[in-house]
Structure 1
Amino acid sequence: MTTLEIRDLQVSVETDTEHKEILRGVDLTINSGETHAIMGPNGSGKSTLAYAIAGHPKYTVTGGTITLDGEDVLAMGVDDRAHAGLFLAMQYPVEVPGVTVSNFLRTAKTSIDGEAPKLRTWVKDMKGAMEALRMDASFAERNVNEGFSGGEKKRHEILQMELLQPKIAVLDETDSGLDVDALKIVAEGVNRVKEATGLGVMLITHYTRILRYIQPDRVHVFINGRVAESGGPELADRLEAEGYDRYQTAPAV
């Protein structure tokens, strides 16, 4: 059992003129095999939470704790967080010119595991994961995210997750920019990894459509840098019907 525990997390971001407070005391616990959907309007702090967990240098933790199986995540460098089992699928994946997908993935796998995977096994695993994500074999020799469509970038993020096998995955709006077919394929990939490895998932999204394919155990509503409400899957249905207006003046809990 792996547990990601966040307690009273406070985070600010550096702008051109100031350090702006974004997260104002977030409490959240995610265990192996659980899917937690993080929902809320633009600017509510969802992506800030993702980047704070991953260790993005632009975001400063001013209070609170993040632990993974009792270990202090905030004391770890970015690489150490990945080695410990944390994974971030970015909302806007960056291009890496001159580095092919196959080289990138094998180098990442070697770094995470501490040794290079056996070539024959690696080729088989990568080919199988790509086929499951409906990715053409030629994709492996393209440069990372260079000239990729939005759907290709998001499939590549899930391909990374499937091959690196993290303990906890933070998926930052993985559904954005996907058509219905791509959404189903990406969701199938997340469910496949979760079933095979017991992955814990933090799924950040604006919309309920991906939750039709990835069933959340818990749904958390972010408003103004705090968790305004938590509940089961039915909370997402209520959000779709009612929106976020009723939270704007309600006190966070």
Structure 2
Amino acid sequence: MSSNSALLQLRELRVDIGERTVLQSVTLDVQPGELLVLMGANGSGKSTLGLALAGHPQYQVVSGQALLGDQDLLAMQAHERARAGLFVSFQAPPDVPGVKNNLFIRTAINAVRQARGEEPQDAFDFLSGAKAAAKDLGLPATMLSRPVNEGFSGGERKRNELLQLSLMQPKLAVLDEIDSGMDVDGVRAVVKLVERMRAEGTAFIIISHYLQMIESLKPDAVLRLDQGTIAERGDMELARSIARSGFKQHAASMAATAEA
């Protein structure tokens, strides 16, 4: 058991997809209620990090360590990681034909509640809470009775991910470009939900390039992922610099400064 007080501890995590190494070595601590923004050029490994933590079978953790509290994430199956308090959103949430949204979410919530030693929610209590949460997120209540994401717009799919997040109340959430496809009201809903959940102790790793949303989230730190490692850690000025100059020019500028 680690003596580190961090909620998430990653140590020299290496992840391969097939024969290609995507994450070379990632070391990172995330504290309860902390919000980190992860930025990086296409192909730098941002989504790979989230999917590897979630236990996606195509993402092979070759070496390193990943602890959630005192639990070894890498020793768990994907569903066990979710029950332990990990939530990972999809960059492109898929359809689940034939499975009603309300049944899907309630089943997930009750699995998590069981792992926490809590009583399951009955259908009435779940539906009441789900409708209230959906309203806060600008998601029509009728979406609850439809198959998961089937016929949903891009923004509706992302709001549905936020609905799951809100109701499951995880310890740590990795949100992969949650703003993609969102309108202005959707982005505001993201910020409002994240603020509330942070105050309740949920930690966040948010993958985004949308500077306005990043500024509204007021992250504790901004990380730049490059060639499979965390190349830089900074504050909002790092995000602004990347937004102004782009990843390639920013990295070149940092390299020139280091050589000077």
Q: Please give the range of the TM-score, normalised by the shorter of the 2 chains.
A: over 0.9
With the length of structure 2 as denominator, give the TM-score of the two structures: 0.90
Q: 1:43 is matched with which residue? A: 43
Give the distance between the partners of 2:69 and 2:130, measured in 1 at CA: 29
Determine helix, strand or coil for the equivalent of 2:166.
helix
Matched, 1:220 2:223: yes
Gaps of 5+ in 2: none
2:17 alignment counterpart: 13
**How far apart in 1 are the matches of 2:26 and 2:136?**
36
CA RMSD of aligned residues (A): 1.8
Cα shift readout 1:21-47 (whole Å, capped 9, x = no counterpart): 000111111111110000011000100
Q: 2-side partners of 1:199 and 1:234: how far apart?
A: 25
Shift of 1:2: 6.0
Separation of aligned partners in 1, 2:184 and 2:240: 19
67-76 or 162-171, larger mean C-alpha shift: 67-76
228-237 vs 240-249, greater mean Cα deviation:
240-249
Aligned residues of 1:154 and 1:186 also touching (Cα < 8 A): no
Q: Does the CA contact (< 8 Å) of 2:6 and 2:29 recur in 1?
A: no
Residue type of the alignment partner of 1:230 = R
Equivalent residue, structure 1, for 2:78: 78
Instruction: Point out the more displaced range, 224-233 or 175-184.
Output: 175-184
2:128 partner amino acid: K
**Which is worse superposed, 237-246 or 79-88?**
237-246
Contact 1:168–1:199 under 8 Å retained in 2: yes
Q: 2:198 aligns with which of 194, 197, 204?
A: 194
1:241 pairs, out of 219, 226, 244, with: 244
- CA distance in 2: counterparts of 1:152 and 1:2, whole angstroms: 33
CA distance in 1, matches of 2:177, 2:251: 21
Distance 2:11 2:54 in 1: 16
Count of aligned residue pairs for this structure pair: 247
Kept in 1, the 8 Å contact 2:177–2:208? The answer is yes
CA contact (8 A) 1:188 1:213 kept: no
| Kept in 2: contact 1:41–1:206 (CA 8 A) | no
Is the Cα contact below 8 Å between 1:26 and 1:225 reproduced in 2?
A: yes
Return the TM-score normalized by structure 1: 0.92
Q: Is the 8 A contact 1:23 1:225 kept in 2?
A: yes
The corresponding residue for 1:29 is 29
Q: Is residue 255 of structure 2 the alignment partner of residue 250 of structure 1?
A: yes
Taking only the aligned residue pairs, the percentage that are identical comes to 41
Q: Which runs of 5+ in 1 are unaligned?
A: none
